[in-house]
Amino acid sequence: MSINRRQLLAAAGATPLLSASAALAQGGTVIDITRARTDPIPIAIPDMAGGPLGAQISRVIANNLRSSGLFRPVERAAFIQSPDAAAATPRFQDWRVIGAVALVTGRVQQGGDGLRVEFRLWDVLPEQQALGTAYNASASNWRRIAHIISDDIYKRMLGEDGYFNTRVAYVSETGPRDRRVRRLAIMDQDGENHAFLTDGRFQALSPRFHPNAQQIAFMSYERNEPRVWLFNLQSGRQEPLGSFGGMTLSPRFSPDGRSVVLSAIRGGDANIFVVDLASRRERQLTAAAGLDVSPCFSPDGSQIVFNSDRGGDQQLYVMDAGGGGARRISFGNGRYATPVWSPRGDLIAFTRIARGQFAIGVMRPDGSGERILSEGWAMESPTFAPNGRVLMFYRESQARDARGGGYSARLASIDIAGFNERPIPTPTDATEPSWSPLLG
C-alpha cells in the first residue's frame, strides 16, 4: 500500500506558522503537556469538499482530535461560511467569531480507484496557512489518509508526534467466564477496521507489537502447551518461538526488533530470558527465587523493567539489559505489576493492587514521582501510544452474583496527565491491548 504526499504552497503566501498563542508564534507549542489539565483547542473541521468521502474523512479527523482531549471541534451548527466556500477561500472573520483558533479545510477528488486529498490547516487569528499537503492513494485507504492528516495537525499544533495512524491488537473474549473463548483481534486505534487474527480453537493471550508493526508476539495454548508464538500480520502465519520445555509467557520485542524478552518457568521459578530472533538462541537474565514476569525493555534497549515477587510480594525491578544489577523501584503501598516503559523513556506505567482496588499509574524509571491515573475494581495491562502521551489498558467490572452476572472486560484510554479517560469501543469483551508504533 502506498500513500504519496506532496506539500501544498501556502495559499496566502504567508509564513507557515500557527500562532494560536504567543508561544506557538515563537515556534513553540500551544499545550504544555506536563500540565495536569488544559483547555482543549477549539478547531473548526467543516466537511471537505468533494462529496460523501470528504465528509467522512473530516469526521474521522474530528473524532481523532476530540478523543485526544486536547482539541475541541467546534459545533457544526455554529458554522457561518459554507464548507465548500471555505475550501476555496476561508473567510477568517466567520471562523474567528465562532471561537475557532484553527480551521481545517480540504478537497477530495476520486478517479478510478485513486484518491487525491488536499488538506490545509489555517491559523485563524493571523489568517495564515499553517500546513498544506496533498495525499494520493487508493480509495480504500481513505481512513489511513484521515489518520495521517490528524497526525499532521496534532504535530503542527502541539509540537510532538501524533498517534492516530496506529493499530491496536488485543484479546477478544466471548462466552461464559469459566469457558471463555479468547482470540487475538486487531483494529485501528479508533476501533474501525476490526479483524480477528486467531480462530479461538486455542486460547491466545498477551499480544505485543514488533517495532515494525508487521509482527505480533503472543502466548498460545496450541497443543495444550502454553508458549510464546509469533504472528506475521502480512502472511497470517504463526510459529512458536524457541523450544522451551515449560510454559513461556509475557513476551515483548526489543526496541531494535531483533529479540524477544519473556518469562519462562522451570521448576518452581519463573525467570526472564531473551531470545534472539535470527538464531533462536536463548539467554537467561534472572535466576533469583520467585516469579519474574512481564519484562519490558527501555526504549534505548539498555535496561529491562520487570515484575517479581522475589522479595515476598510483587514489586517492580529494573536491571541491565544483559541481566544483573536488578534494583527495586516500587516502594508505595500494595503490589505492583505489568510495568511498561514509555516510548519517550521518561516514565514507566504499571498496575498497582492495593486496599482491594486496582489502579493504573506512572512513575519515573528510578521509582520517583509515582502518580495514579485511574483506580477501580479491576484494571491492568497498560500500553503506551507511540508518542508516550496516552495509555490504553483494560477494566473489568465486578460480578454482581455467584453466577458472574454483570462481569465485563473493556478497553479504555487515558492521558498520562490523568484526564480524559474514555472507553475504546470493541465488538466483544476485550483485554490486554497492545498499541502499535506509528504506521508508515
Q: Which of 51, 246, 257, 427 binds other proteins (CB under 8 A)?
A: 246
Q: Scan residues 38-67 and list those touching other proteins (CB under 8 A).
A: none
Q: Which of 338, 387, 426, 436 binds other proteins (CB under 8 A)?
A: 338
SS (H, E, C) the chain: CCCEEEECCCCCCCCCCCCCCHHHHCCCCCCCCCCCCCCCEEEECCCCECCHHHHHHHHHHHHHHHHCCCEEECCHHHCCCCHHHHHHCCCHHHHHCCCCCEEEEEEEEEECCEEEEEEEEEECCCCEEEEEEEEEEEHHHHHHHHHHHHHHHHHHHHCCCCCCCCEEEEEEEECCHHHCEEEEEEEECCCCCCEECCCCCCCEEEEEECCCCCEEEEEECHHHCCEEEEEECCCCCEEECCCCCCCEEEEEECCCCCEEEEEEEECCEEEEEEEECCCCCEEECCCCCCEEEEEEECCCCCEEEEEECCCCCCEEEEEECCCCCCEECCCCCCEEEEEEECCCCCCEEEEEEECCEEEEEEECCCCCCCEEEEEECEEEEEEECCCCCEEEEEEECCCCCCCCCCCCEEEEEEECCCCCCEEECCCCEEEEEEECCCCC
Report the nearest approach of other proteins to the CB of residue 221 (Å).
8
Q: Does 404 bind other proteins (CB under 8 A)?
A: yes
Nearer of residues 134 and 354 to other proteins, judged by Cβ = 354
Site string for other proteins, 378-397 (x = CB under 8 A): x-xx--------------x-
Report the nearest approach of other proteins to the CB of residue 178 (Å).
6
Q: Scan residues 79-108 and list those touching other proteins (CB under 8 A).
A: none
Nearer of residues 162 and 295 to other proteins, judged by Cβ = 295
Query: Which part of the chain contacts other proteins (CB under 8 A), choosing from 23-31, 116-124, 236-244, 330-338?
Result: 330-338
Report the nearest approach of other proteins to the CB of residue 131 (Å).
42
Nearer of residues 28 and 175 to other proteins, judged by Cβ = 175
Total residues binding other proteins (CB under 8 A): 49
Q: Does 428 bind other proteins (CB under 8 A)?
A: no
Residue numbers at the binding site for other proteins (CB under 8 A): 176-180, 182, 203, 205-206, 219, 224, 226, 246-247, 249-250, 263, 265, 267-270, 291, 293-294, 307, 309, 313-314, 335, 337-338, 351, 353, 356, 377-378, 380-381, 396, 398-399, 401-404, 407, 431-432
